Amino acid sequence: MQTDSADTQRDWIETTALVAPGLLGAAAGMLLSDLMHRNARRGVAIALGGLGIAALVPLLVGGIANKVNGPESARGARRRLAGIRDAGDGLSDFHDVDEDLREQGVI
């Protein structure tokens, strides 16, 4: 289940990274065009530029988080090693079976 949410988040981040250049290009086009009044053109261009920069924020945050917690970092390596070590710790799921076997005198 965790993989599905990670894939969904990655798709969302990649989509925003693809949208950002388009928004920044539209902002540049608005600044260079003569179709609108200068003050109106400047406001629309600033808004589109802000949206383009905001669309890049998830990509930047994901990249920084990967650098800090990724498998190449010391922290990521410790987390992975702890996960491997704790993999056999799931025996608490069979606690009821152990109690039943103790009651029956098998253990």
What residue segments make up the domains of the chain, in order of their start? Answer: 1-69, 74-107
Q: Is 50 exceeded by the pLDDT of residue 72?
A: yes
Tell the burial category of 83 from Cβ atoms under 10 Å away from its Cβ (0-12, 13-18, 19+).
exposed
Q: 98 Cβ partners below 8 Å, 6+ apart?
A: 107
Q: What pLDDT was estimated at residue 93?
A: 62
73 backbone φψ class: left, alpha, beta (φ>0; ψ -120 to 50):
beta
For position 1, what pLDDT does the model report? Answer: 45
Rounded CA gap, 20 and 58, in Å? 11
Distance CA 90, CA 45 (A): 56
User: How far is the C-alpha of 105 from the C-alpha of 2, rounded, in Å?
Assistant: 40
Give which of 43, 51, 64 is closest to 20, Cα–Cα.
51
What are the tens digits of pLDDT across the range 46-60?
Answer: 888 888 888 888 888
Render pLDDT for 1-41 as a digit per residue (tens, 0 to 9). Answer: 455 555 666 677 788 778 888 888 888 887 777 777 778 77
Binned at pLDDT 50, 70 and 90, residue 90 comes out as: low
